Amino acid sequence: MDALIFLPLLLLPLGGLLLVLAPLVRGLRERKKGEAEDTVFPWEKLAEQREALLQAVQDLDMERSLGNLTEPDHQRLRDRYLRRADLLLTEIQRRHQLLDEEIDRAVRNARETSPDGAEGAQREETRD
């Protein structure tokens, strides 16, 4: 009989934890499903994943304030989510850099192949 009294007390924090982790699990499933479909620069997906992680951190903070998470569990999960969000931000920045480099190459190629670009390059060579 005493065990039945403690059962809801054990299940309540687990339910809160499931609510917090559900968006992350969903995001991981979507990422695995969409890996084959990814384009070179999937900005929206990366931004959505980062936002989901930041929302999960806010949810963790709420769960801790409600007493559903212990401080060590809260800190461990919070640190993990923030590290993942940081990795996503680093990846977004890396892809921005790749895009900038691709644009620079395309502009150089366009200048080299266009008649105006070729004449401009010849004029500069004759000045030197």
pLDDT digits (tens, 9 = 90+) for 75-114: 999 999 999 989 988 988 888 898 899 999 999 999 998 7
CA distances from 13 to 20, 48, 62 (A): 11, 27, 12
pLDDT for res 62 = 93
- What integer is the mean pLDDT of 14-29? 67
Question: Tokens at residue 63, please?
Answer: 């769960």
Burial status of residue 52 (CB atoms within 10 A of its CB: 0-12, 13-18, 19 or more): buried
Question: Tokens at residue 20, please?
Answer: 């917090």
CA distances from 82 to 48, 77, 126 (A): 14, 9, 56
pLDDT for res 103 = 92
Position 33 confidence tier, pLDDT thresholds 50, 70, 90: low
pLDDT over 50 (residue 44): yes
pLDDT for res 36 = 46
Backbone CA torsion sign across 108, 103, 98, 124: positive
- What integer is the mean pLDDT of 8-33? 65
Sequence length of the chain is 128
